[in-house]
């Protein structure tokens, strides 16, 4: 009984690994068809770039999709004529314009949008607004 389960597991592993190939083996297969090494290498780089781009696009799509089971309350802060909204740590908006993360450390995260920087302090929960490098005040 044990011997047959080991054999079936080994057979399954061989079947799964048969479809895998390394970049080196794909380049070698390409060269075996009479294509130059440089062209094969470029094709492999483009293949890897396409796979990475597709996975990043899917990750962003998944991140922006509704996460019903783990949806967190959106934090909205207002003041000084601006509205700052965080839907997650990686997605923040200032006046409905997506912010870029300038700095992220254990104490605070700094978001940037246009002339404004918004500093979210993790320990205190305070949200500071800066315009052109000058402190404006805390958002409520």
The mean pLDDT of 85-102, rounded to a whole number, is 91
The model's confidence at residue 127, banded by pLDDT at 50, 70 and 90, is very high
The mean pLDDT of 19-33, rounded to a whole number, is 83
Give the chain as a 3 state SS string: CHHHHHHHHHHHHHHHHHCCCCHHHHHHHHHHCCCCHHHHHHHHHHHHHHHHHHHHHHHHHHHHCCCHHHCCCCEEEEECCEEEEECCCCCEEECCEECEEEEECCCEEEEEECCEEEEEECCCCCEEEEECCEEEEEEC
Residue ranges per domain, the chain?
20-64, 70-139
């Amino acid at each position: 009984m044990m011997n047959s389960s080991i054999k079936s597991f080994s057979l399954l592993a061989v079947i799964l690994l048969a479809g895998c190939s390394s970049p080196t083996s794909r380049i070698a297969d390409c060269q075996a068809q009479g294509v130059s090494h440089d062209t094969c290498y470029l094709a492999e780089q483009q293949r890897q770039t396409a796979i990475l781009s597709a996975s990043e696009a899917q990750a962003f799509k998944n991140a922006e999709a509704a996460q019903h089971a783990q949806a967190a309350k959106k934090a909205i802060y207002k003041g000084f004529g601006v509205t700052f909204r965080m839907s997650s740590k990686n997605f923040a908006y200032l006046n409905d314009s997506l912010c870029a993360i300038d700095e992220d450390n254990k104490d605070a995260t700094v978001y940037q949008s246009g002339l404004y920087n918004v500093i979210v302090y993790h320990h205190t929960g305070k949200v500071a607004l800066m315009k052109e490098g000058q402190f404006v005040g805390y958002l409520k």
